[in-house]
Amino acid sequence: MTDKFLEALGVVIRDQIIMKNSVEVDELGTFKPVHYNQKQEKRADGTNVMLPPKDTIEFTSAKKG
C-alpha cells in the first residue's frame, strides 16, 4: 500500500466516524464511534468530580481462522 492510499483511507475513516458511522475494512476490522455520557467520579480523597461526556473510537479486529 502506498502512503497516498493509506492517507486517503485514514481520511475516509475519520470522516465516517465524525458522521457517527461504523467503518468495516475487510480482513482488518471495524472502527466504531462510541459516546460516553457525563458521569460523576468519587476520588480517593473523598471529593466528587464531574467527568465531561466524550466520544471515542472502538476498534474490533477481524477474526482469522
pLDDT value, residue 64? 74
Provide the CATH number for the domain around residue 41. 4.10.520.10
For 26, which DSSP code? T
Contact present, 28 and 17 (Cβ < 8 Å): no
Please tell me the predicted confidence (pLDDT) of residue 63. Answer: 83
Give the residue ranges of DSSP H helices in the chain. 3-18
Please tell me the pTM assigned to this model. 0.70
Total domain count, the chain: 1
Using CA of residue 7, residue 9, residue 13, residue 15, what is the dihedral sign? positive
pLDDT in tens, 7-53: 999 999 999 999 999 999 998 999 999 999 999 999 999 999 999 99
Residue 22, domain extent:
3-61
Q: pLDDT band for position 65 (50/70/90)?
A: low
